[in-house]
Chains A and B, each alone.
Chain A
Amino acid sequence: MTPPLSCTDLHLRFGKTNVLNGISVDLPKGKISAIIGPNGSGKTSLLRCMGRLQRPSSGEVQLEGQTIAKMNTRDVARRVALLPQTVTAPAGMRVGELITRGRTPHQSPIRQWSAKDEKIVRHAMTSVGLAERADHLLEDLSGGQRQRAWIAMVLAQDTDILLLDEPTTYLDLTHQRDVLSLIQKLQAERQLTVAMVLHDINLAARFSDHIIALKDGKLLTEGDPMNVITQTSIQNIYELDCNVLTDPHSGMPHVIPK
């Protein structure tokens, strides 16, 4: 079976710095993968390459066996949605407007707002719990609400693959959990393939089915959280002395730095 999205020997250089050093990795179908690693390990660059926002210096990304660089970018947009890390909407934009923008790859000047668009946007809005706030200005929302609005925008794109860069930045504990459970719930409902960059290794352990660990632009290890998140591998990845306990609630590994 061809994986929904696979990377083969990705290299990425900016001037003299090597950001990615030959990464080959597949996203498992219908699962949530978390990309982890220390700062500067190439997490975001990998995600951007997967979403064809960044053209790799060499190597290629394939979408179900097709080379993404050679595909029509609109077709890609109907199958892959990506939420960058820090995004700002134009000033004066309202929640409903923003989420509607997610329909762009399915729209054209004569197909501006089909019944299907309306249904999907409404569904996206409800599933993140912002249905009552469609007419609010984006800048009037709290950080958590704003993040949910952006997630709703990529959901409205209605793709099978979702790439998220740090979806929990700026969020407090509750909202971190809420946003990630939301992603988990939506993923289960629609059998999405999700890849997200996460800083917090414990959140990654709890909310993902698959861990991709990077270091210095290389793939260090990947696999099931139970197998990847161990004392030795965390020491390898982060050069951090730690204990790994078991979360009594979820049964997943939990890292506690020494």
Chain B
Amino acid sequence: MNTLTVRFGPLSVRMPWRLILTNGVLLVLTAALVWSGLFRGSYPATPGDLLSALTGTADPVTSMILLENRLPRLATALGVGLAFGLAGEMIQTLLRNPLASPDIIGFSAGAAVGAVVTVVIVGGTAWVVPGALIGGFIAAGLILSLSWRRGVSPGQLILIGIGVTLTLGVLTDLLLTRIDTTSAAGVMKWLVGSLNARSWTDAGSLWAGLLFLGPLALWYQFMLGRIAFEQDVAISFGLRLNYGRVLTIGLAVALVGLAVAASGPLPFVAFVAGPIAHGLNGASRPTLLSAALVGALVTLSADMASQSLPDGFGLPAGVFTALVGAPVLITVLVLHSKRQRL
């Protein structure tokens, strides 16, 4: 068989070889990116430097660059990518729609409005993050409760999601024209998403949440693929559809919330991770781990690209997530459909 099965007493786990291979390759790539982000760049360092920085014997400059600058930034980028990748794949699987992304449950749109509203009220960009989180959760809650009718139906959720996110999006644009240019530029930068100057506080709270939610999502993956089966079949399998749908959406919202708090919306990561992961695995089943790793890869490489620009071009990572992700998606698309035609 082309599947690996591991059994231990009453426990058993099963995974196709191809998935294992894909995940292995993605993992190696991610590690390589983290490695090069840590030790290369404008101030080259060695693993030895890191070790001595950790034990407190390195010179202060090296120690600051590695421990206070690079490590937290990389940890944030990695965590944000994983979170967006997971959330994107969960929502796309649940709604069975390649155009869906966590955007459809309104978090990003709500976050944007929240961010701009704080600027309108306070006059500066100091309160953007809390405003965004509040806006995001309100919008997601609104969409979920509006589409509730003795349960969540994916069709209703999509349409209500369009209605609400579109209105919120325009509200953001409208508010952006009612504030001064400097504030608008500040909000704009935040809306694009950035990984500049992340501290251990950013990385710490992100990872604390991720270490809790990530395993939960992976645990639930097994049922997620079956929930997305045709409704009648899923019910007759004894799956609790509403429970599963609400759990999936709730997890995705929480993951997006974590990521948005750490980096801003970083458009496209959540959208692109799933299709790329599917293309690599050549499968219809949900592949949460692959999608999470793809998300991490896209985010890490976008961040590296944004750092590699000459000074004066202070472009945030969010600009590059699309620049990195889109060509990959297109390549996968072309390769994938060629294989299907054969």
Which of A84, A92, A107 touches B283 (beta carbons < 8 Å)? A92
Which residues of chain B come closer than 8 Å to A115, judged between CB atoms? 7, 12
Is the beta-carbon distance between B222 and A77 smaller than 8 angstroms?
no
Is the beta-carbon distance between B240 and A101 smaller than 8 angstroms?
no
Is the beta-carbon distance between A93 and B237 smaller than 8 angstroms?
no
With A73-B240, A87-B230, A90-B229 given, is the CB distance from A113 to B13 under 8 Å? yes
C-alpha spacing A77/B2, complex, angstroms? 29
Is the beta-carbon distance between B235 and A73 smaller than 8 angstroms?
yes
> Interface size for chain B: under 10, 10 to 19, 20 to 34, or 35 or more residues?
20 to 34
C-alpha spacing A52/B282, complex, angstroms? 35
B contacts, CB < 8 Å to A:
2, 5, 7, 10-14, 96, 219-223, 226, 228-230, 232-233, 235-240, 282-285
C-alpha spacing A82/B234, complex, angstroms? 10
Which residues of chain A come closer than 8 Å to B13, judged between CB atoms? 110, 112-113
Name the distance in Å between B236's Cβ and chain A's nearest Cβ: 4
Which residues of chain B come closer than 8 Å to A105, judged between CB atoms? 237-238
User: Which chain A residues numbered 92 to 136 have a C-beta less than 8 Å away from chain B?
Assistant: 92-93, 97, 101-102, 104-105, 107-115, 117-118, 135
| A240 contacts B by Cβ under 8 Å | no
Is the beta-carbon distance between A75 and B220 smaller than 8 angstroms?
no
Is the beta-carbon distance between A73 and B239 smaller than 8 angstroms?
yes
In the complex, besides A90-B228, A111-B12, A113-B5, 13 extra interface pairs with C-beta distance below 8 angstroms are: A52-B235, A53-B236, A72-B238, A73-B238, A74-B240, A77-B239, A87-B233, A89-B230, A93-B284, A105-B238, A107-B222, A109-B223, A117-B12
C-alpha spacing A87/B232, complex, angstroms? 9
Q: Which of B96, B222, B237 is most buried by chain A, counting CB atoms within 10 A of its CB?
A: B237
Is the beta-carbon distance between B10 and A53 smaller than 8 angstroms?
no
Is the beta-carbon distance between A109 and B220 smaller than 8 angstroms?
yes
Closest to A96 in B: B1
7 contacts between A and B (CB under 8 A): A73-B239, A78-B238, A87-B233, A101-B226, A104-B239, A105-B237, A118-B5
Name the distance in Å between A151's Cβ and chain B's nearest Cβ: 13
| A76 contacts B by Cβ under 8 Å | yes
Name the distance in Å between B6's Cβ and chain A's nearest Cβ: 9
Which residues of chain A come closer than 8 Å to B10, judged between CB atoms? 111, 114
Is the beta-carbon distance between B237 and A104 smaller than 8 angstroms?
yes
